[in-house]
Structures are given as structure tokens and as C-alpha cells.
Copies of this chain bind each other. A is one copy, B any other.
Amino acid sequence: MSMKVTPREEDYSRWYTDVVLKAELADYAPVRGCMIIRPYGYALWENIQETLDAKFRATGHKNAYFPLFIPESFLAKEEEHVEGFAPQLAVVTHGGGKKLEEPLIVRPTSETIINAMFAKWIRSWRDLPLLINQWCNVVRWELRTRLFLRTLEFLWQEGHTAHATAEEAEEEARRILELYREFAEKEMAIPVIVGRKSESEKFAGAVHTYALEAMMQDRKALQAGTSHFLGQNFAKAFEITYQTRGNRLEYVWQTSWGLSTRVIGAIIMVHGDDQGLILPPRLAPIQVVIVPIWRSDKQEAEVRKAVEGVKDGLGGVRYEFDDRETYTPGWKFNEWEQKGVPLRIEIGPRDVGKRQVVLVRRDTGEKSIAPLEGLKGRIEASLEEVQKNLYRRALAFREENSYQVDDYEEFRRILEGPGGFLWAHWCGSAECEAKIKEETKATIRAIPFQEEEGGRCIRCGETSIQRVVFAKAY
């Protein structure tokens, strides 16, 4: 833990891995492509879960649990869906010492098994809307994996809903997108661009996919959550019908949406610095660490007494008192900086005499003196200030690295050089999209919701009705 992380400028990819390992967020598993989420990383995930779960509940969703295994035949029922996921499947062929008659797929997502149940549970308009969420693990067989960003198994939530009309389903898909956006910006302190995906980037089986895109510090995009309008694709594949008030039998309209442990990768890459992790206070497992300083037993007694007073006053703040004997204060400062704790309280004998503590912000390194009197208010205000500053900083970085581009040579130059988000016109054809990807490695990250603006496709010069966002992506 005492060694430094690789600087970002030197090797961004190694910097990322160093931060994850040194902060003890996760570790490599002895199974290829899998990871262990260590207690500190899992506590972060639990805070993410708790915050999102409250939002899902407040909008009428209920949690449930569906099986890990999906019969191979189920997956095949929705044609685009099976095509999209076939290369990524883990297959159970043996159980209880015998070969299975039908192999079982380890869920890569649960549309098929959940919709098989929806077909059974939904009878009439009274059963709609049906708003279900599931917290679980899923498996997608990836070749190149990275801690949190891409692992064979990951944790996520997946929402699955059924509605009486297309309008209601569309409204739900947009409501969740907005809920995710609010979560990303307010809780993770990450500014995001929301928009629709192109046909080639949408979810396998969806009519259209909405997503959140965030810019990492290497100027690449990371998708931080998706919300799909499924139309009646799965309803028709699984015969999910309901009796209307007027006694007709109709297919339901559906959505699905998910957010995964991948967002922890986004938090790391958006906020971290060359000292290590920086966590947004609202989600940080430890918001404040108290590091005491003493050189004698007498000093220890005084400082400990003062710390008790500080702790009593911190009700509601998530703090840790680090009184480990075998480490020096300096070693501890470094460790908690690597772990990204937003605020540090230092307290030594001189501070006790003056009835004060030293406050150190992780985001700016700024030190200040805070009187014991009214400390809690001061700390809460500082946490809020760190939260806002992280957001402001990330937003400024994204703005500095976003470009309106109308010339393909400039477009390529930026992508070969610094990289960034390129707002450019696109004719809407899959062909231009594919050529751009081939020539620059950039993909369309989002077709933003915005005013139309006439223009010419950056690749072919055909007419375009709006700019879309291109970037290289994780």
C-alpha cells in the first residue's frame, strides 16, 4: 500500500489498475476474466445500490429474483436477442454428474426468463403496469477483460416492465434514463450526455436504446447505463397478452434497463488523480477519516479524549478513526488518499489545546483549521463542496475536450491526437457509421435529444438533421 500509483500521463491503463488494486476496491480472481469485489469496493457498490433502489421504489418498482439458468431454447425465441448474445454465452452442459438433455445458459441478461413469467402472470389491464427490478449477477464471455469495466461476471440491476400502451412504455424508458442521469450527476458527480443509440449500437432485441455517456480522463467515452424501449418484440416472442378494459386481447409494450458495477470504473476514471482514488462524498463508504497524532502517552490520552468529542458530534457522517499503532501518521495520510476518502481530520496535541482540528480535502489537497465548536456543520459543508467541485471539474474537463467538427480531416486529427467528444453531422446511414469506425475507431456514442440543426454528414456530405456525438469508447 505504501508504493505510489503509476502517473496517468505515463500509462493511463496501468494507472487505472494501480488505483483499483491499491485502494483495495477489487482483486483479480483465480478464474480468467473474473474479479473479487473487496470489502471497500463492495461497500461502494452497496451505497450505489441503496441510492438507486430508493429511487426505483419511489417510482413504483418492486424487486424480485429470477433463476440464474435459462434454457437454451428460450434465448432463441427473440431472433435479434439470440444473435446479439450467442458469442458471449457460458453454457452448463452437466448437472449432478449427468449430461443435460437441454443445455442451460448462465444468464447474460434476464429478458427471456422474465418474459416467460410475465406471460403467465399478466392476464388483464388490472395487472399493468408490471414494474419489476432485479439485483443479481450476470455472465458474458468476454475475451479482453478489465477490473470493473469488463469482466466475465458482473453485478447489476435489471429492470423489466410491461405496459398497456406504447406511450406508457416509452415514458417509462425515458423516466428511467432521467433517473439514471440524476443519479450519475448528483451522486456519482459525473456529467453525462443522454441520448439514443444508433441501430448498430442498440441492445439486441430493442426497438431503441437510450444511454448515458460519460467522458473519462483519457477522453474516451464510457456507457454508464442503458434504458431500452422493447416495443412488442418480446411480447410477441413470449405471447405476453392482456385483456383490455374493452375486452380485447392485446400484446403488452415493454422496457428493460440496467446499470452495473461498471459505473465504479467510471467513478475511478473520472475523479481519480496521481495520488489514487477520489470518491464522491455521497457514495464514499468512509466520508471522513480521523488521523490522530501523538508522541507520548500523555499526548495520546489528551488526543483520544478530544477525538471522542469529535466522534460524538459526527452523527450521520460515515467516518473512521484510524488509531492503528503500527503505522505513522504520514503513512496513514497516504493510504487514505489512495483510498479516496473525501475529507481527512488531523488532530494533535496542539490542536487539542486550541480546541480545533485540521481539515484536509482530498480533491484539492487544501488544508484548513476548523474549531471543534460547530465541527459537524463545517464537515457537512465541506463534503458538499467536494461533491460539487468534483462535478464541476469533470464537466469543465468534458467541455474542454468536446468539439463541434464539420471537417473530416480535423475529425480524424482530433481522434488521432488528444481525443474527445466530437459533435458532428451524420447522414444516418449504417455505412458511414461503419466507415468512420473503421477509419478512426470512433463510434456514435449518443444521438442527443435536442433541437434539430441542418448540416452535412461529416463522412459523405449527405444532408443531416442533427449533430451526434462521436468518440472512442470503453
Residues on A lying within 8 angstroms of B by beta carbon are 27, 29-31, 34-39, 42-43, 45-46, 62-71, 74, 86-97, 103-104, 106, 113, 116-117, 120-121, 126, 132, 136-137, 139, 141-143, 152-153, 155, 326
Contacts and interface: CB of A to CB of B under 8 A. Distances in A.
**Quick one: which of A87, A96, A113, A120 has the most chain B CB within 10 A?**
A96
B89 A90 contact: no
Nearest to A134: B42
Given A29-B113, A70-B31, A96-B141, A64 B38 contact: yes
**Quick one: which of A29, A116, A139 has the most chain B CB within 10 A?**
A29
Contact of A64 (B39, B63, B137): B39
A175 B91 CA distance: 40
Contacts of A106: 68, 92, 106
Ordered nearest first, which 10 A-B pairs have the shortest CB separation? A96-B141, A39-B62, A34-B67, A37-B65, A91-B94, A95-B141, A93-B93, A29-B67, A90-B95, A39-B64
As for how many copies of this chain the complex holds, the number is 2
A93 B96 contact: no
B63 A46 contact: yes
A143 B89 CA distance: 26
Contact of A68 (B96, B116, B153): B153
A46 B49 CA distance: 13
B30 A153 contact: no
Given A31-B67, A64-B42, A116-B30, A96 B92 contact: no
A359 to B, nearest CB: 27
Nearest to A106: B92
A4 to B, nearest CB: 20
Nearest to A66: B36
Contacts of A27: 117, 120-121
Nearest to A39: B62
B63 A43 contact: yes
Contact of A69 (B34, B74, B121): B34
A38 B36 CA distance: 29
A116 B29 CA distance: 9
A96 B88 contact: yes
A136 B74 CA distance: 24
Contacts of A37: 64-65
Nearest to A24: B121
A30 B113 contact: yes
A68 B66 CA distance: 16
A67 B35 contact: yes
